[in-house]
Amino acid sequence: MLVACRHRVTVLIGVLAVMLTVAACADFSQQDRDQAAGPFSPNNESFEVQSTQPPQSTPENPGQESPPPPGPCVDPDPAVIATCLASTGGVRAGDDEGAVTVVAERTTGKIITTKRYGPQRVVASFDVDGSGDGGLIDFAFSPTYQQDQLIYALITTPTDNRVVRLAPGDVAKPILTGIPKGATGNMGAILFASPSELLVATGNADNPAAAGDPGSLAGKLLAVTDLSSGSTTRPKILASGLGANVALCPSASGGLYMTDQGPTEDRLQSVEESGATTVLWTWPDKPQIAGCAATGGQIFVTETRTQRIEAINEPTRQRPTITPPTVVLEKRYGALGRITALDNGVVQFATVNRAYGQPVSTDDRVVRFIPPAGSESKT
């Protein structure tokens, strides 16, 4: 099992402690736009991912709820902790209890932190092309964020998908460019495996053939080890043949899981230390798996079309057999997007009703959810 660095909330707590007031925007020069990754050969070497423990601090009154503000953005559901967002991308928990969230607005390019009844604060902002399913797709805070305040993001530009790095008061600088852009199939994910290695999962850019092409960065799980601005170091290909809307979810047990929407089925896969993937479960009915999160011995997947969260037992040496998934939430919040988990069993998920559903007045939203224990169904 891959020993992956979990997206621990302590990374994001540093964000709330420092609380950037600069909403720096990315600036893409013609030189950057013309920069392409170029052809390269797959690297089949195995890799070892080291766990890191980011510095920890405490946000101000994380569990204290403010009085409800006036206006249309107050959701009566107490589980809803963010409202009136633009269509969402990646989401992260912002404190140890899951009361605070940090969420990407995919179409506006903003990273926003808030809790129930707000206020909303813009942590960073990127210039993005939000057409189709592109835009601010995912983000990750540097493992040493309290020292360097660096934010990494997977974004869509007018010419490509790319990974950029943003420092306070600066413009976003390219780290990895030339990821193919499509009308759809742009959604991917980024995750720090160690302070010196960033995992990047890319969608197939609406071109399944590109996902199997070693000369294309589409439909791949990549390891980026040169995080310097303007890097020309080619990433290692860890896995190929990925579909659309690829998501990564690390587990506290050391596992790493990945979901995607393949041409014929949606899939949940485990990623091994060598980079090899093993399919754990498939959905031939294509419910549009949008994200995954692992906590409490379960792997949760969100679904956009069926508006559900399903739970699957996390495989272990003692219990390697996967049992059929159980629906733990259904048609309560509309179309669901990305999801993230805390070690205490709490998950946060974002809705994507503005893009794929029937939005209500408080959409789009982030919800704090405590799944039922084990495989108990709750609809």
State how far the Cα of 327 lies from the Cα of 311, in Å rounded to an integer. 6
Is pLDDT of 348 > 90?
yes
- Determine contact, residues 263/257, Cβ cutoff 8 Å: no
pLDDT of residue 44 exceeding 60: no
- pLDDT at residue number 60: 42
CA distance 256 to 249: 6
How much is the pLDDT for 65? 62
**pLDDT at residue 64, as a whole number:** 58
pLDDT in tens, 133-145: 999 999 999 999 9
The chain-wide mean pLDDT, for the chain, equals: 85
Cα 262 to Cα 185: distance, rounded to the nearest angstrom: 10
Closest Cα to residue 312, out of 289, 336, 344?
289
> Two tokens at 257?
């899981």
pLDDT tens column, 102-159: 999 999 999 999 999 989 999 999 999 999 999 999 999 999 999 999 999 999 999 9
Q: Give per-residue pLDDT as tens, 285-299.
A: 999 999 999 999 999
Instruction: Assess whether pLDDT exceeds 90 at residue 216.
Output: yes
Say which residue the tokens 């020069």 belong to. 29
Tally of CB atoms within 10 A around 206: 17
For residue 16, what pLDDT is reported? Answer: 53
Residue 246, both tokens: 């690829």
**How many whole angstroms separate alpha carbon 320 and alpha carbon 282?**
17
Q: How confident is the model at residue 373 (pLDDT cuts 50, 70, 90)?
A: confident
Element at 354 (helix H, strand E) = helix 353-356
- pLDDT surpasses 60 at 332: yes
Angle at 255 between CA 149 and CA 282, to 5 degrees: 115
> Looking at residue 62, what DSSP letter applies?
T
CA 345/CA 294 separation, integer angstroms: 9
Could you give the percent of the chain with pLDDT greater than 70?
Answer: 81
Mean pLDDT for 341-351 is: 97
Is the predicted pLDDT of residue 12 greater than 90, yes or no?
no
Q: What is the pTM of this model?
A: 0.85
pLDDT tens digits, residue range 62-90?
445 667 777 789 999 999 999 999 999 99
Tokens representing 32?
Answer: 């950057």
Mean pLDDT of 171-175: 96
Of 163, 210, 165, 158, the C-alpha closest to 185 is: 210
368 torsion bin: left (phi>0), alpha (psi -120 to 50), beta (else): beta
pLDDT tens readout for residues 230-284: 888 899 999 999 999 999 999 988 899 999 999 999 999 999 877 889 999 999 9
Distance CA 280, CA 278 (A): 6
The number of residues in the chain equals 379
Q: According to the model, what pLDDT value does residue 198 have?
A: 97
pLDDT band at 31 (very low <50, low <70, confident <90, very high): very low
Count H helices, E strands: the chain?
5, 24
CB 125 within 8 A of CB 23: yes
| Residue 7 pLDDT greater than 80, yes or no | no
Buried b / exposed e along 220-254 (16+ C-beta atoms within 10 A): bbbbbbbbeeebeebbbbbbbbbbbbbbbbbbbee
Q: Is the pLDDT of residue 53 over 60?
A: no
| 335, two tokens | 């179309």
The pLDDT score that the predictor gives to residue 319 is 85
CA distance 369 to 304: 17
DSSP classification of residue 97: T
Per-residue model confidence (pLDDT) at position 276: 87
DSSP three-state, residue 249: strand
Collapse the DSSP code of 25 into the 3-class scheme (helix H, G, I; strand E, B; otherwise coil) and give the result: coil
Q: Mean pLDDT, to the nearest integer, of 209-213?
A: 97
Distances (CA, A) of 175 to 139, 163, 196, 198, 326: 13, 5, 13, 10, 39
The number of angstroms, rounded, from the C-alpha of 103 to the middle of its chain's C-alpha atoms is 9
* Strands 277-283 and 266-271, bridge-based pairing: antiparallel
| Residue 320 CB partners (closer than 8 Å, separation 6+) | none
Residue 30, exposed/middle/buried by CB under 10 A (0-12, 13-18, 19+)?
exposed
The DSSP call for residue 333 is S
* Torsion over CA: 49, 53, 55, 61 (sign): positive
Show the domains of the chain with their CATH numbers: 80-369 (2.120.10.30)
Q: Is the peptide bond before 364 cis (omega within 30 degrees of 0)?
A: yes
